[in-house]
Amino acid sequence: MFPLYDDNPSRTKPIITWTLIVINVIVFLYEITSGRFEQLVIRYGVVPLRILHGKALYTLFTSMFLHADFLHLLGNMVYLFIFGDNVEDNFGHLKFLFLYILFGLAGAFLHIFMALNSGNPVELKIPAIGASGAISGVLGAYVVFFPRARVITAVLYFYLIQLVAIPALYFIGFWFILQLIYASLGSITGIAAWAHVGGFIAGALIALIYKPYVKEWKIEEFEEWEYYY
């Protein structure tokens, strides 16, 4: 199940969303061409043990722009491209940028807290990288603002790919349940799922507080599953 686009047009140009995508792509290209990929991850990724000792605090920010491989980058950027424009539209450009970073920090802090309480000292020494925590916050805000918007999704069905329109509440809700499952499995998944959970919760809570102040526009009510062939 892979999202392609939503049916929720933005009223303004998402300049911050586009800029973040460009920065992430440029940083990734540098990662893979520098010949120092592992050194960059160790130096600029979030290592819980270092943060707990008050060291390398800058990695709380730099880690948001590093990715492990092309698929990691692609997945994150597709989600940011689909959901970021509308959330940026509601918050405004500069506020969205501030909150994007805040969501990433919230994800990093929950990841560090859970690593500390995992009972596995190895988890404290593993660098965490990726924009996933920040983008998870964008998803949390999106589902609060636009629960009925539809996400056009490619679904594999009996060796065929079908395009299905899924309400954001269900699509993002399913995604969040998956993150909770991954988080319960611990480090064996290789995914910093608690960072996703932390970012998502931060995004949803802030959107709930901010929603009464947002001028809403009509979104077509979802009535039944739609299929595109």
Would you say residue 41 has pLDDT above 90?
yes
Model-level pTM greater than 0.95?
no
**Tokens in use for 49?**
């043990």
At 118, the pLDDT band (50, 70, 90 cuts) reads: confident
* CA 76 to chain CA centroid, nearest Å: 6
| Domain span including residue 178 | 2-228
Q: Lowest mean pLDDT: which of 138-147, 200-209, 219-228? A: 219-228
> Which domain CATH number covers 93?
1.20.1540.10
| Domain count within the chain | 1
Tens of pLDDT along 67-110? Answer: 999 999 999 999 999 999 999 999 999 999 999 999 999 999 99
What is the pLDDT, as a whole number, of residue 218? 47
Of 129, 134, 115, the closest CA to residue 186 belongs to 115
Place of tokens 């605090």: 57
Asked if residue 111 lies in contact with residue 194, where contact means CB atoms within 8 angstroms, the answer is: yes
What is the pLDDT, as a whole number, of residue 141? 97
Asked if residue 44 lies in contact with residue 27, where contact means CB atoms within 8 angstroms, the answer is: no
**Tokens in use for 80?**
């940011």
Give kind and range of the element (H or E) at residue 82.
helix 70-91
